[in-house]
């Protein structure tokens, strides 16, 4: 995503060897104002707003951050703010059950996550919804069947790769490795909660909805390691 400073794209800031891969996803030559990420709170107020989504029954998670003045819109349609972030993979959990350990008491803490190497930024994708029918590969221990009457698991995070011609194809998350150069599409997950003193608090996470591998670690001259932990 570009900033609002002369339409500067973030991918233009990468240096070798990443700069030859950072532009693989096509961008508009002249982005609209609503495509540009704000630099200040004042600009953010003019750029986006929070609305209630009445279709979400959980009142702690029914706030959505949307663009305030999008162009070329479909009537009666809202457009959640989406931010694309490029980085180098460090650690990640993208399988259907994320970091869940199989115990009912910890299912609310289950998440898929992804951490970039160049800075301590962690994008957490929380999934408090749960269990549909799983294949043996998704749930080899049959953990999800224990809670199938109470929970439903959302769809898996889409993962893809893109080549130098701009052709995009699906990719198993098992083929991602530490050191891969990726672009992650994110939206803002707003959660209302209470602190230890019972006071209302707002937490905001970046919830990612897709991962695109721009270049494998091997092409970048980086020794890769698969960072997904398997369950014993």
pLDDT digits (tens, 9 = 90+) for 21-67: 999 988 777 778 788 888 888 888 999 999 998 888 888 888 999 99
135 falls within a domain: yes
The answer to whether residue 232 is domain-embedded is: no
Q: How crowded is the C-beta side of 31, counted as CA atoms within 13 Å?
A: 16
Question: Would residue 61 count as lying in a domain?
Answer: yes
Calpha distance 58→204 (Å, rounded): 16
- For the cut 80, the answer to whether the pLDDT of residue 228 exceeds it is no
pLDDT of residue 170: 93
d(CA 72, CA 175): 37
Say if 122 falls within a structural domain.
yes
24 domain-assigned: yes
**Domain count along the chain:** 1
| 230 is a domain residue | no
Q: What is the extent of the structural domain holding 164?
A: 10-220
CA distance 117 to 95: 20
Least confident segment among 56-60, 150-154, 185-189: 150-154
Residue that is written with structure tokens 């693989």 in the block: 24
Tokens for 144? 């999800």
The average pLDDT across 158-175 equals 91
Any domain includes 226: no
Burial class (CB in 10 A: 0-12, 13-18, 19+), 23: middle
With respect to residue 5, please indicate whether it lies within any of the assigned structural domains: no
Q: How far apart are CA 174 and CA 183, in angstroms?
A: 17
Contacts of 215 (CB under 8 A, 6+ apart): 18, 21, 180, 181
C-alpha dihedral sign at 39, 71, 25, 181: positive
pLDDT the model gives residue 101: 56
Q: Structure pTM?
A: 0.74
* Distance (Å, whole) CA 84 – CA 211: 10
Mean pLDDT across the stretch 94-111?
54
């Amino acid at each position: 995503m570009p900033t609002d400073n002369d339409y500067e794209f973030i991918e233009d800031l990468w240096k070798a060897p990443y700069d030859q891969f950072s532009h693989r996803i096509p961008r508009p030559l002249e982005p609209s104002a609503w495509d540009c990420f704000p630099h200040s709170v004042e600009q953010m107020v003019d750029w986006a707003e929070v609305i209630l989504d009445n279709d979400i029954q959980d009142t702690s998670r029914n706030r959505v951050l949307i663009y305030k003045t999008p162009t070329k819109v479909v009537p009666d349609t809202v457009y959640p703010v989406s931010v694309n972030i490029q980085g180098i993979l460090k650690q990640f959990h993208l399988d259907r059950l994320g970091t869940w350990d199989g115990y009912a008491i910890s299912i609310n803490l289950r998440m898929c996550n992804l951490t970039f190497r160049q800075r301590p930024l962690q994008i957490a994708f929380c999934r408090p919804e749960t269990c549909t029918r799983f294949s043996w590969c998704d749930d080899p221990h049959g953990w999800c069947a224990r809670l199938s009457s109470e929970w439903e698991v959302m769809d898996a995070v889409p993962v893809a790769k893109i080549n130098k011609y701009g052709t995009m194809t699906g990719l198993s998350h098992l083929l991602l490795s530490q050191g891969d150069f990726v672009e992650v599409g994110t939206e803002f997950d707003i959660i209302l909660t209470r602190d230890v003193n019972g006071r209302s608090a707002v937490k905001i996470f970046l919830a990612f909805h897709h991962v695109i591998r721009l270049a494998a670690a091997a092409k970048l001259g980086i020794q890769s390691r698969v960072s997904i932990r398997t369950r014993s």
